[in-house]
Amino acid sequence: MAAPPKIQLVDFNGMFNVDGFTDFVIESNMESWGLDYKVVAIMGPQSSGKSTLLNQVFGTSFTEMDAMKGRSQTTQGIWMARSPVVDDPLLVMDLEGNDGRERGEDDTAFEKQATLFAMASADILLVNMWSHDVGRETGSGKPLLKTVLEVNLKLFNQKRTVLLFVFRDRTKTPLEYLASTMSTDMQKIWESVPKPPQYVDSPISDFFDIR
């Protein structure tokens, strides 16, 4: 089976690939879909296996990290492909890792813009996390989740997005414990996020279907 078409939708500098997207639309026959399609996006720490997960589940061909060459940035910007293993039209977006050294610790502008793009377009947002980050005040998990919640409040056309957590490299810790801890953490983060007046008393469940 030939690899499905894929495109670097947004490059490292944040530029949208207009010409490439036009070609992708034609090659994927997207015009025939109308509004009958879904979008899945994934975000998470750099080198956490996001691209590998998408390739395994959705049959895409995103570039994967070569561990023999060390941990480095594999996905730059935002990549998109159509899943060839799902009957109904499904677009899959692979976002650049949120804590890569290539951008530096203080450069969060692209991370927030990419998250905003994903939140505005995706029906399901996969959050790929190291299991050892769950419940920790430090690490890659908390800043990422806070960014997701803050960015979501900036969307004009509010929709309820499915937020699906994927815990990477789980050891003996029961899944139920990880889920409970994550739920508590999400509530605390939500309470700490500044909100517009109309959303001050809104529960997190008004915005996300957390799974």
pLDDT tens digits, one per residue of 141-191? 677 778 888 888 877 556 788 889 888 776 777 888 888 888 888 898 899
pTM of the model: 0.83
At residue 10, the 3 state secondary structure works out as: strand
Q: Give the three-state DSSP class for 91.
A: strand
One-letter amino acid for residue 81 of the chain: A
Write the Ramachandran bin of 47: left for phi over 0, alpha for psi from -120 to 50, otherwise beta. left
Sign of torsion over alpha carbons 50, 51, 53, 54: positive
Q: How far is residue 98's CA from residue 116's CA, in Å, rounded to a whole number?
A: 13
Confidence of residue 80 (pLDDT cuts 50, 70, 90): very high
Say which amino acid occupies 112.
K
Instruction: Tell me which of 71 and 109 has the higher pLDDT.
Output: 109
Measured between alpha carbons, how far is 75 from 8 in angstroms, rounded to an integer? 9
pLDDT score of 71 more than 60: no
| CATH code for the structural domain at 6-210 | 3.40.50
Separation between Cα atoms, residue 9 and residue 16, nearest integer Å = 6
Given CA atoms 98, 203, 126, 172 in this order, what sign does their dihedral have? positive
The beta-strand segments (E) located in the chain are 6-10, 38-43, 78-82, 90-95, 124-130, 161-168, 208-210
Give me the mean pLDDT over the 61-81 stretch.
Answer: 69
pLDDT at residue 23 in the model? 93
Spatial contact of 78 and 94, defined as CB atoms under 8 Å apart: yes
Question: What is the pLDDT at residue 70?
Answer: 46
Q: What is the pLDDT of residues 107-151, one digit of tens each?
A: 677 888 888 888 888 999 998 888 777 777 656 567 777 888 888
